[in-house]
Structure 1
């Protein structure tokens, strides 16, 4: 059973004996949906409540309020689903990458050797269209994207330093 070294949002660094696993629980799209639906719920729900109290057509206030309530329900379902992914054991997820400290190689999610571990450096790179960086493994053949940070799930946190520390043992 892998031991979680660090988890930020749905991005996980875990250790299973000599293997260091990089896992993405896939919460990014759900987190964006929860954020956007939550904002829509607040705006439309608030505007609908104010419209009902003001001198406006009742149907207009009810329509805004209905959109707000529906968005709040979508937010609740998305958040419940995100929380549910944490209940699933890390071993049930397919790793994005595996740092095999015994064999001294980096493998991709399919088990294919990407590079010798001594030739790999882990770091952050900016993503086009996002304020959160991505976590990459720089290899002699180029950059290998490990995880894409998401500002709605907490970005990358300190996953890069945890991964560097775990792979230099």
Structure 2
């Protein structure tokens, strides 16, 4: 049985705001996966399950990293949505620059999601015979908090 690695000991980062990588028209599941990949990368947790284990174990460095993230209430609501829990369990974000990132993709034509580890395949493979083009979740872009954005108010408190 594999033993979970402890969280890397790192100094807490400054507050960060996670913004959408895709436009607002992206399906909620893709927006959620994008945020989750960003959080996994920020905390250096390889999977959502690993992040949950660290938080349950009260791992102080991981808690500090999560508390440094500034997102809007809508973004937090997406991450807490129980309907996304199953698909998010497939995400993989290896720490560092090595390894293959496993993300989610959504086909608007057949309205199905699937996992993806290659960015070059755009055709839907979730349903046999579907001619749809998939929307793929990538890591959400980070931006610095701004004083004028109400969602960033905590960063300046």
If the TM-score is normalised by the length of the shorter chain, which range does it land in? under 0.3
The structure number with the bigger radius of gyration is 1
Greater relative contact order structure (CA < 8 Å, 6+ sep): 2
Q: Between Structure 1 and Structure 2, which shows a larger proportion of strand residues?
A: 1
TM-score, normalised relative to structure 1: 0.23
TM-score, normalised relative to structure 2: 0.24
